[in-house]
Amino acid sequence: MTVNIDIDGGIAIVTIANPPVNAINAAVRERLLTLAQAFDKDPAIRAVILTGAGALFVAGADITEFDRPVEPPFLPDVVARIERAAKPWVAAIRGAALGGGLELALGCRMRIATGTARFALPEVNLGIIPGSGGTQRLPRVIGIAEAIRVVAENHTLDAAEAVRLGLVDAMVEEPLLPGAIAFVRVALDKALPLPSLDRPLSEPAQEIWTEAEQRIASHAKGASAPLQALEVLKCGIEQGAAAGLARERATFLSLRGSEEAAALRHLFFAERAAMRPADIRGTAPRPVDTAGVVGGGTMGSGIAAALLNAGLSVVLVEQDAAGASRARETLASLFEASQRRGQITGEEVAERLGRLETNIGYGGVERCDVVIEAVFEELAVKRAVFSELGRFCRPDAILATNTSYIDPRLIAEGLPEPERFLGLHFFSPAHVMKLLEIVPTPETAPDVLATVFEIARRLGKIPVRAGICDGFIGNRILRRFRTEAEALVRDGVGIAAIDAAMRGFGFAMGPFEMQDMAGLDIAFLHREAARKRGEPVPDMPGDLLVRAGRKGQKTGGGWYDYAPGDRRPQPSAKAERILAPLMGPRTDMAGEVIVARLMATMAQEGQAILAEGIAASAADIDLVEVHGYGFPRRRGGPMFQLGRADANRV
Ligand code: 3H9
């Protein structure tokens, strides 16, 4: 049974027990509706307490139902029935009350909560808006300005904030139910507060809407749900709750069926699945308290910052005193920047730096449970590091290389206990970027793999397991993507037109703007090395630019020109002249055709990666693109796009 009933002296206790997160599915809706009707007819029942089993109240509607047509009874009707019940319902909340869970609580006449309670309407993260009255009841309970933050800007209220705003009528201690029953008995002897929807609300100043619209639009990254949520809020204030509810339902249903919502749901489940790969489920991770990082450059410092942010102690190995103090300064300035943004306090900056030890040479690594090498991307240099680590580290310490291209098996050659070794490909800046490609070798032990997945979870990363090939998952697709973008240039399509098309699709930058920012020389050197090895690598347009000294922004020009101190790309006649020998006659290509061609290329490479077993699932490939390469989240990833294109063709 997903909803349990107890009766205590005239008070019915309704517990939603639908593990793991008490999501509201059709069975829960049906049962709640039936119960509300039955209790109203039962003279022995005076009031109802609604609660959730376990550590949380209710995480919202069951998202797995959203790929199917809506099924009655509908949640807005259930919430409305509870709100109008003759016997008052009181929500007793511990842990999260999210989405439809908060909407159910808003349908109750009162809410009591423990200190662990938190309240949010995260629907916009899923490309939808609250669909069970949340946009109309919440502003009438906590006021419009706060409701805008919760409904359209994904703000979470903690228990104290919820009490201050009047969302929670009283705080109770654990155990929750005895406290809730005592509260209800007292409350029944007094006048009850008005139902949420009947509470009066005065129209706010017009500026509140214009300011919110600007704020939301600037953060939405092209997503449509947040602004639509604001519109629905506004409708309910200006035209009344009934009009607001009707508008909310229509908007919810239309967004529920949108491609954007399907993409965001796909990523929601992909992100959760990535955390728990089937083959290591049940394998206990090794304990990890202290991590070593070899190399304190940009990547090494970023990795150290991520580890320190996650509460680990870090031993950072540098070659000399200058390198060690530079790394400490880099980390201090990263944490101080977080402090300036209000993310951490001055004490937290000091505490994090207190867990950092910067050493010259390998002293201290013998205490490390895991060591991550982040030195120059050259096989001999990396091998030298691991030969030292093999001597200094404990035999059970996990050793990882942060390589983006080199075969980890070559790096590990000669390492004692190779089963504790694997590749961990972080993305720069490593304390910010969510993606972590995990690249085991055939010898990596299962508990080593389980441990790095656990470390990734602690670091707040999205871990994706990748097989060994040139570029693993992400850089391999990136190379194909860039080659195809350059092929478009050869076909005569304008550089700026290609970039504009990809920005229009939702990337923050087009492929050429991106290359100019990152520098064209690394990929060029890569191709040159392959040519030296005798591999048949044809001349690419980018090669011509690098040979002419145009390596991107850092040299004042690449695909575009840049004025000194200005990062805005300007079309470059010089670049066009250099590229002329490889460019076909100028042709106009529609933005969607450019996008379709580049998407098809990415997906094709993705399919090859899947076929070779380099990625475990298509969803993993999408996670790599979204979390490591700026693929627009609302588009779901290249493999999701391929699935949609195929579905539309059928
Ligand atoms: C909504 O409510 C719409 C309404 O306005 C209108 C309706 C008409 N449904 O994250 P975890 C699964 S929209 C189904 O790893 P945590 C999840 O897939 C909803 N399944 O745990 C995973 O499954 P598995 C608005 C769900 O402790 C398992 O539960 N609500 C749902 O790190 C554990 O999840 C939200 O957007 C769901 N709603 O975090 C809240 N939620 O074990 C979404 C989770 O098979 N949920 N699952 O991999 C969350 O934010 C987090 O899951 C939560 C727990 C904080 C609750």
Nearest by Cα to 233 from 140, 103, 96: 140
pLDDT classification of 526: cutoffs 50, 70, 90:
confident
Whole-number pLDDT of residue 66: 95
SS3 311: coil
List the catalytic residue out of 91, 107, 117, 123.
Answer: 123
Q: Which residues contact 12 (CB under 8 A, 6 or more apart)?
A: 5, 6, 35, 39, 45, 47, 48, 49, 87
List the catalytic residue out of 61, 229, 241, 263.
Answer: 61
pLDDT classification of 147: cutoffs 50, 70, 90:
very high
Between CA 633 and CA 223 the distance in angstroms is 9
The first and second tokens of residue 469, run together, are 């090939």
Q: Which residues contact 243 (CB under 8 A, 6 or more apart)?
A: 235, 236
Rounded to the nearest 10°, the torsion over CA 70, 154, 144, 184 is 70
Q: Which residues contact 239 (CB under 8 A, 6 or more apart)?
A: none
Q: Looking at ligand 1, which atom is closest to the CA of residue 101?
A: 2
pLDDT classification of 338: cutoffs 50, 70, 90:
very high
Mean pLDDT throughout 609-638? 97
Whole-number pLDDT of residue 561: 96
SS3 464: strand
Q: Looking at ligand 1, which atom is closest to the CA of residue 131?
A: 6
> Is-catalytic flag, 103?
yes
> Is-catalytic flag, 100?
yes
Q: Give the pLDDT confidence of 433-467 residue by residue, as tens digits.
A: 999 999 999 999 999 999 999 999 999 999 999 99
Whole-number pLDDT of residue 112: 98
Binding pocket residue ranges, ligand 1, CB within 6 Å: 20-21, 23, 59-64, 75, 96, 98-100, 103, 122-123, 126, 130-132, 134, 269, 272
* Mean pLDDT rounded to a whole number for the chain: 95
Q: Is the pTM of this model over 0.75?
A: yes
* DSSP string across 75-102: HHHHHHHHHT-SSPEEEEE-SEEETHHH
Mean pLDDT throughout 575-587? 90
Whole-number pLDDT of residue 205: 87
List the catalytic residue out of 83, 103, 373, 484.
Answer: 103
3-state class percentages of the chain: helix first, strand second, coil last, to nearest 5: 55, 15, 35
Name the residue at shortest CA distance from atom 51 of ligand 1: 59
Between CA 410 and CA 413 the distance in angstroms is 5
Give yes or no for residue 645 having a pLDDT over 80. Answer: no
Q: Give the pLDDT confidence of 238-279 residue by residue, as tens digits.
A: 999 999 999 999 999 999 999 999 999 999 999 999 998 888
pLDDT classification of 403: cutoffs 50, 70, 90:
confident
pLDDT classification of 649: cutoffs 50, 70, 90:
low
> Is-catalytic flag, 60?
no
Whole-number pLDDT of residue 177: 96
Mean pLDDT throughout 510-514? 96
> Is-catalytic flag, 645?
no
Between CA 1 and CA 182 the distance in angstroms is 27
Whole-number pLDDT of residue 650: 53
Q: Which residues contact 344 (CB under 8 A, 6 or more apart)?
A: 335, 338, 352
Alpha-carbon separation of residue 299 from 302, 441, 524, 568 (angstroms): 5, 22, 21, 26
Mean pLDDT throughout 203-228? 92
Whole-number pLDDT of residue 621: 98
Count the residues in the chain. Answer: 650
pLDDT classification of 405: cutoffs 50, 70, 90:
confident
Mean pLDDT throughout 570-587? 92
Q: Looking at ligand 1, which atom is closest to the CA of residue 122?
A: 36
